[in-house]
Structure 1
Amino acid sequence: MSGAIDDATSPSALSDKSAKIFVAGHRGLVGSAIVRKLQALGFTNLVLRGHAELDLTRQNDVESFFTVEKPQFVILAAAKVGGIHANNTYPADFIAVNLQIQTNVIDASYRFGVKKLLFLGSSCIYPKFAPQPIPESALLTGPLEPTNEWYAIAKIAGIKMCQAYRIQYNWDAISGMPTNLYGPHDNFHPENSHVLPALMRRFHEAKVKGAKEVVVWGSGSPLREFLHVDDLADGVVFLMENYGGLEHVNVGSGKEVTIKELAELVKEVVGFEGELVWDSSKPDGTPRKLMDSSKLAGLGWTPKISLKDGLVDTYKWYLENVKQ
């Protein structure tokens, strides 16, 4: 399946700065970055609703919203997300809530005349033992990682729903799959956060306490890919303007870093002076997880924010916004 733009797309989708754009999930890590990007580009008619104002899991509420607001474009960044512990504890929530949100928003967008919709997924849609780097074609070629399959199944359904509406109705619905994201509005919770914000919090707390060392799980050898959420937002706008294909598109940095290199970099950015100790009795997780983002690069988009600059920006946000 080529990445060529097909007849159903409108490449200059966002040429009108007064176009009405609904960003679903605008308070999250991803949605807030997309809003910042659109506002920086001069878009003046963003439609934003918090969960208390609009419950996307309720079909009637979603239909009422579309009846009144009639957005021209929709970026679907709303989702129930969490780490391994949350996925294992609340599998019904992860599959049901995400399926409800996606189904309600995608279907209402089509029926109420939205010109173009972009659905955001996650790299966890790919099989546990996918080839590395992971191409888009790896989707549905093997079993998923069991710890987050409920979330992954919902996200795969979202991709397939966009494809089905494109095939049946010639409607311009596309999907983007981001790699591991970080940046302002990330989750820095002590137990439930991902590796990068978790390391940042631990080094910061150790620095404040004057601790002699920070112990990190594993050997530090696994390779991971990270993308600053502002780069993702830039990529999302690029896709809205330049892509209209059937297949989903990976959005990654294309750069790998070992967990050890990441920890050393976070330690440096935070300014922790003590020792970094590796507890190699603890599990490492998947040895490598890199997405193949050559399709997006071929369309003309590459990320701009280096990991070091992104970490400096994120730590600044952490200091200003996270309760110490």
Structure 2
Amino acid sequence: MAERVVITGGGGFIGAYLVKRMVADGWDVAVVDTMVRGDASRFAEVADDVELFTCDVRDQQALERAFKGATVVMHLAAINGTENFYKQPELVLDVGLRGALAVVDAGRAAGVPDLVVASTAEVYQTPAVIPTPETIPLMLPDSLNPRYSYGGSKIVSELIAFNYGRDHYRQVQVFRPHNVFGPNMGWKHVEPQFIMRALAARDAGDGTFPIQGDGTETRSFCYVDDVVQGILTMYEKGGHREIYHIGSDEEVSIRDLAARIGKIVGIDLDIQAGELQQGGTKRRCADITKMRALGWSPTVSLDDGLERTVAWYAENRDAKPANDLM
């Protein structure tokens, strides 16, 4: 009999890719998602093989029913998207904190042996070491800035997972993804926003392309299929009470990212510097030595991943939802 996995946030971007992959790998897959930000169409091709619990991740009783018989709960539910951190910080915190508590307690009550929790690179804010290992201090620079509603909620989620889960789970793991991207990732992240603007610039015949900051800010971008493989590798080969970075260690400037997207779209962008949002991070790049030791590293190049992502957004330009959370 197939082992059961419950994925919270399975209608989200990374969650849905994980759902499809785990169905393909022969797991008995259940999804917990309110479908407020999530979208079941993201895993439509395997929907018949997935048990869907349309409930709130903060509802412990509903979670206990969903978690029954599971070998592992993979907790990915969150309100993501930088725009949401600034505009809806209370909701970001509520879902982050109450969700983490409800998940850990429901897993305990349902006797689930293994727990995997998604954190974020945002827990470092402005890391002092680049590439950044898992061991440096976590940072909350300014509790007045709503941007840190997300990073702060993930710091607390990690504490909840490791401490509330301490005596109640066979295995507790946290992964910190770094700038995951791919087709159907939503509309409030840097890649889709750049892609949509580049497509509009091409159509208008005007390559003027203002950006936040001067474009020398860096990130390391990891394609979603690689991230899913990383999560599964960590779960299979990683240790109990361990934290793993899942990302790329290729550092790329935002200016370079925009230029690559412009090239794929077919327009020479005139990139113009602008104000950097308060709380933005100058450099971010993951040290993935720990994951490499488990035999995992990214396989999809940035350009290949961007080509696939641009193709999806070009084809689905009219699908952008009115829903402000997306």
How does the TM-score come out when normalised to structure 1? 0.84
Kept after mapping to 2: 8 A contact 1:235/1:251 = yes
Indicate whether 1:35 and 2:19 are aligned: yes
Indicate whether 1:51 and 2:34 are aligned: yes
Q: Which moved more, 1:207-216 or 1:174-183?
A: 207-216
> The residue matched to 2:80 in structure 1 has which SS?
coil
Q: Which residue of 1 aligns with 2:41?
A: none
Over the aligned positions, Cα root-mean-square deviation in angstroms equals 2.2
Indicate whether 1:219 and 2:214 are aligned: yes
Cα deviations by residue, 1:226-283 (Å, 9 ceiling, x for unpaired): 11111111101111111123231111111111112111110111122x442323x433
Indicate whether 1:276 and 2:270 are aligned: yes
Kept after mapping to 2: 8 A contact 1:126/1:144 = no
Q: Which residue of 2 aligns with 1:323?
A: 318
Kept after mapping to 2: 8 A contact 1:172/1:244 = yes
Deviation at 1:302, TM superposition (A): 0.5
Q: Which residue of 2 aligns with 1:12?
A: none
Mapping of residues 68-79 of structure 1, within 5 Å = 69-79=68-78
Deviation at 1:165, TM superposition (A): 4.2
Q: Match for 2:141 among 140, 143, 160?
A: 143
Distance in 2 between residues matched to 1:37 and 1:234, nearest whole Å: 9
> The residue matched to 1:21 in structure 2 has which SS?
strand
Kept after mapping to 1: 8 A contact 2:259/2:269 = no
Distance in 2 between residues matched to 1:170 and 1:71, nearest whole Å: 12
Change (3 A) 1:154 1:61: same
Cα deviations by residue, 1:128-173 (Å, 9 ceiling, x for unpaired): 3432222211233663684432222221122122222453335311
> The residue matched to 1:102 in structure 2 has which SS?
helix
Deviation at 1:74, TM superposition (A): 1.3
Mapping of residues 89-128 of structure 1, within 5 Å = 89-128=87-126
Distance in 1 between residues matched to 2:282 and 2:141, nearest whole Å: 17
Distance in 2 between residues matched to 1:219 and 1:59, nearest whole Å: 45
Change (3 A) 1:127 1:277: closer
Relative CO higher for 1 or 2, CA cutoff 8 Å, sep ≥ 6?
Answer: 1
- The runs of 5 or more residues in structure 1 that have no matched partner are 1-15
Change (3 A) 1:23 1:162: same
Distance in 2 between residues matched to 1:117 and 1:236, nearest whole Å: 12
Change (3 A) 1:127 1:297: same
Q: Which residue of 1 aligns with 2:250?
A: 255
Kept after mapping to 1: 8 A contact 2:220/2:250 = yes
Kept after mapping to 2: 8 A contact 1:165/1:173 = no
Q: Which residue of 1 aligns with 2:177?
A: 178
Kept after mapping to 1: 8 A contact 2:86/2:146 = yes
Kept after mapping to 1: 8 A contact 2:234/2:294 = no
Q: Which residue of 2 aligns with 1:130?
A: 128
Indicate whether 1:209 and 2:208 are aligned: no
> The residue matched to 1:136 in structure 2 has which SS?
coil
Percent identical: 28
Kept after mapping to 2: 8 A contact 1:127/1:144 = no
> The residue matched to 1:289 in structure 2 has which SS?
coil
Kept after mapping to 2: 8 A contact 1:127/1:139 = no
Kept after mapping to 1: 8 A contact 2:32/2:57 = no
Distance in 1 between residues matched to 2:108 and 2:91, nearest whole Å: 26
> The residue matched to 1:124 in structure 2 has which SS?
helix
Change (3 A) 1:45 1:170: closer
Kept after mapping to 1: 8 A contact 2:265/2:310 = yes
Kept after mapping to 1: 8 A contact 2:125/2:281 = no
Cα deviations by residue, 1:39-59 (Å, 9 ceiling, x for unpaired): 333x25211244162111122
Counterpart of 1:312, as a letter, is E
Q: Which moved more, 1:154-163 or 1:260-269?
A: 154-163
Distance in 1 between residues matched to 2:174 and 2:293, nearest whole Å: 17
| Number of residue equivalences | 298
Distance in 2 between residues matched to 1:39 and 1:45, nearest whole Å: 7
Distance in 2 between residues matched to 1:209 and 1:39, nearest whole Å: 43
Distance in 2 between residues matched to 1:318 and 1:231, nearest whole Å: 20
Change (3 A) 1:88 1:246: same
How does the TM-score come out when normalised to structure 2? 0.84
Distance in 1 between residues matched to 2:308 and 2:17, nearest whole Å: 13
Indicate whether 1:167 and 2:150 are aligned: no
Q: Which residue of 2 aligns with 1:25?
A: 9
Kept after mapping to 1: 8 A contact 2:7/2:31 = yes
